[in-house]
Homo-oligomer: A and B are copies of this chain.
Amino acid sequence: MTSRKDRRHERLFVVEGVRLVEEALKSSADFVVAVYNQEQLAATERGSGLLEQVQQLPNTFAAPAEVIASISDTVTPQGIVAVVAWPELEPQRRGVQLVLDAVQDPGNVGTLLRTAEATGVSQVICISGTADVYSPKVVRAAMGAHFRLAIVQDVDWDTAPTLLIEADNVYAAVAEASMPHYAADWRQPSALIIGNEANGVGERGLAIATKEISIPMVGPVESLNAAVAGSVILFEALRQRKLGRS
């Protein structure tokens, strides 16, 4: 719809499909413009509900299905595409702080944002080199996490430590580390650094980390996918906090 540079400059992102546009409307995000197809939306109950809402908003336009398809990034567009201003949310008080150190794959970044929301992460800090969190692929995989999660991106390693809020422990996920992820006390204020798919957490991240952790495994498996590893660790952190013990 717009180039990456334009999107960043204007702090806008593109949201596609019934569920994500619903999320955008429910959130505090500013709705800039939406283009929808009446027949496609009316075809489902959920779509019909959204259609009624959208028709009452300013800057929303009915268009033929072909127009939606040409704007849309997905193969089977669901009849609505909206442009929304980036919400800027404050970090939450509780929860692990997640640092993505040049995680490159948009699917991994999206999955990690979804997990971050699901596990009550307080903020996500994306170091430069991480996939653009507002790109359509990341937005789709994150399934609405953007509307409820404090996210900062394009952060360099000089700035990152100043953004961390009283993290007593900063854990770096390192495949070779001997400390199991479940041996960490996640009830204490802490941060987790997940590294690049090929190279892991970089030098600067390791320098800031207070401890290195890994996920114990059976057998000769090579390191896990970044999104799976991050999810396993963050759900263990939530387990500990729910149970109130490690």
Report which A residues bind B (CB closer than 8 A): 19, 95, 111, 114-115, 117-120, 143-145, 148, 180, 182, 215-222, 224-225, 227-228, 231-232, 235-236, 238-239, 242-243
Contacts and interface: CB of A to CB of B under 8 A. Distances in A.
A118 B236 contact: no
Most buried by B among A118, A182, A220: A118
- Copies of this chain, complex-wide, total 2
Nearest to A218: B120
8 contacts: A119-B218, A120-B219, A182-B239, A215-B235, A216-B238, A216-B239, A224-B231, A227-B228
Contacts of A231: 224, 228, 231-232
Nearest to A112: B228
Contacts of A236: 235-236, 239
Nearest to A219: B117
Contacts of A221: 114, 117-118, 143, 145
A19 B180 CA distance: 27
A115 B218 contact: no
Contacts of A145: 221
Contacts of A239: 180, 182, 216, 236
A154 to B, nearest CB: 26
**Which residue, of A120, A144, A145, A217, has the highest number of chain B Cβ atoms within 10 A?**
A217
A227 to B, nearest CB: 7
Given A95-B218, A228-B231, 11 more contacts: A111-B225, A117-B219, A143-B222, A180-B239, A216-B238, A216-B242, A217-B238, A224-B231, A227-B228, A228-B228, A232-B232
